[in-house]
Amino acid sequence: MPNTQRKPKSQFAVINIDSVINRVAAGDMLRDIANDIGTTPQAICNKLSTIPEYQQAREIGAAMRLERDYSEIRAAAEQVDVSRAREAFRASSWFAEREFPHRWGRTVEVTNVSGDLGDRLRRASERVINPAMQQLPDNSTQVIDSNADSDV
């Protein structure tokens, strides 16, 4: 009976750097590239991690996967296909946000408020704590007693 098991992958396979970088930039996954050339994804990472073009190719590849997955959502005809494509897009989005936050990450905007914050806080607390106080058009105040009988 013939041996149907795959031969073990070698970490010492010959890696054509330009070819791998082009495939990464096209959106191919390292697992697929490694299977094609007979090595492991870790071996590819070890070989290419110091090459600046590899990092750029990874970012371009993430953009290509986002584009591909979004296109699949738009092209889906059946609801099950839409759901499957949407989940693939979410996974690609999640990856892109975390791996490349400078491009796809969520940003937090901080606004610096100058002036007397104490006065602003007092006015805000008056609006929240004492909502029964209402400003009338003639700039006078009227106190509304919420405990007063409504029959009167």
Q: Containing domain of residue 37, as a range? A: 17-104
CATH number at residue 79: 1.10.10
Contacts of 38 (CB under 8 A, 6+ apart): 9, 10, 13
Higher per-residue confidence, 121 vs 52: 52
Q: What is the pTM of this model?
A: 0.60
How many structural domains is the chain composed of?
1
Tell me, yes or no, whether 39 lies in a domain.
Answer: yes
At residue 131, the pLDDT reads: 61
22, part of any domain: yes
Q: Are 62 and 96 in contact (CB under 8 A)?
A: yes
